[in-house]
Amino acid sequence: MSAPPPPSLDLRRLRVVASLGRGAKGIVFLVDTGAETLALKAISRSSIEKKSILSSGSCDAGYRRIWFERDVLSALDHPLLPKLRGSISTDRIVGFAMDFCSGGDLSSLRRRQKTFSDDVIRFYAAELVLALDHLHKQGIVYRDLKPDNVMIQANGHLMLVDFDLSTRLSSKPPSKKKNHKKPPPKQRRLFLARLLCNNNSNNISPSDPDPDLEGSGKSNSFVGTEDYVAPEIIKADGHDFSVDWWSLGVVLYEMVYGRTPFRG
C-alpha cells in the first residue's frame, strides 16, 4: 500500500489537552496544535521493541504493524473513516494524528441511553456498512469492530477508528496450497481459555505479528475482542472479510438489547 508521506508534527508545538483513552498498543491524547485540535495516538518505542522481541526476537515486526496502520490511515479518503493528519517520530515515541470526534464513542453513548430507537439503529447500521464496504474494497479487513471503536463526529455521523488489528487481504480466494498453517494448539488453547473465562483483558492481539499484512487470501491470526469475534477466528481455519459482518451483527444486537448475544 503506497501513500504520500504524512506531514510531520512538531512535538514542542503540541499542547496536550486530555487523555482520550488507552489501547493495546498506545495512548490517545487530545492535542492542540495552535490552529486545531486533533486526536494523537502515541506509542512508546520501548514498549514496541519489548513486545516485539518477546514475540518474534526482532524489533522490526512491531514497527511493521505500526507503519501498516499509519499507511492505512494515510490512504483512506472517506467521510466515515479517519484521515491521517500528521505523524510524530522521536527517540522515545512514534505516533500519528487524526481528526478529533467530539461526540465520544458508541459504547459510552449506549451505556447512557441503554438502547437505541429503530431509526437510530438503522442510521448507524447503514453508516457502518458503508465504512466496512469501503475498507473491503481497499483490501482491508478491519477485524475489531465494537462500539468502543466507533466514534461520533460533531455532525452526528460515525467514524470507524483504531486500525491496530486490521490487515490487508487479496481479493482472490486463496488456493489450498497457499493457505497458512493453523496456529499451534497451544496458541488456540490460550485463545479459548481467555474467551471462556472472565478476564479483564478482552482485546486479543496476535502473539506473533501478522504475517500477511500485505496480502493473502485469508488470515489465521487470533485477533479481535472476545464478545465480537467471529467463529472462524476461534476455529483457526482462516478468516477473510466476512468476520467484519459477523461483528457488525453483534454490534447491532447490542444496540437493540443493550448487551452482546453470547455472554454466559
62-97 per-position pLDDT tens digit: 788 888 998 999 999 999 999 999 999 899 999 999
Q: How much is the average pLDDT of 180-196?
A: 51
Parallel/antiparallel/unpaired status of strands 158-160 and 150-152: antiparallel
Please tell me the CATH code under which domain 106-257 is placed: 1.10.510.10
Q: Which of 199, 141, 193 has the alpha carbon at shortest distance from 165?
A: 141
- Domains 11-99 and 106-257 belong to one CATH topology: no
Could you tell me which residue, 112 or 212, shows the higher pLDDT? 112
Known catalytic residue at 144: yes
For residues 25 and 206, what is the distance between their CA atoms, to the nearest angstrom?
A: 12
pLDDT band at 208 (very low <50, low <70, confident <90, very high): very low
Residues 6+ apart with CB under 8 A from 134: 78, 80, 81
Which region, left, alpha or beta, applies to residue 86 given φ > 0 means left and ψ of -120 to 50 means alpha?
left
For the residues 37-48, what does the mean pLDDT come to? 91
pLDDT at 234: 75
* Annotated catalytic residue within 105, 144, 148, 210: 144
Helices H, strands E: what count in the chain? 7, 11
Distance in angstroms (rounded) separating the CA atoms of residues 159 and 157? 7
Phi, psi of 255, rounded to the nearest 5 degrees = -65, -30
Pairwise pLDDT comparison (19 vs 50), residue with the higher score? 19
Q: In the prediction, which pLDDT does 159 show?
A: 98
**What's the pLDDT band for 177 if we cut at 50, 70, 90?**
very low
Cell of 76: 483512506
Q: What b/e readout covers 209-235, taking b as 16+ CB neighbours within 10 angstroms? A: bbebbeebbbbbbbbbbbbbbbebbbe
The residue that leads in pLDDT, 162 or 186, is 162
pLDDT tens digits, residue range 89-132?
899 999 999 999 999 999 999 999 888 999 999 999 999 999 99
Q: Which residues are 21's β-sheet partners?
A: 28
Contact predicate 222/236, CB 8 Å: yes
Query: For the chain, percent helix, then strand, then coil, each to nearest 5?
Result: 40, 20, 40
The domain spans of the chain are 11-99, 106-257
What is residue 131's predicted lDDT score, i.e. its pLDDT?
Answer: 98
The CATH number of 11-99, from 3.30.200.20, 3.90.79.10, 1.10.8.10, 3.20.20.100, is: 3.30.200.20
**CA end-to-end distance (rounded Å), the chain:** 41
pTM, 2 dp: 0.78
Q: How far apart (Å, rounded) are the C-alpha atoms in residues 149 and 161?
A: 5
pLDDT value for 26: 85
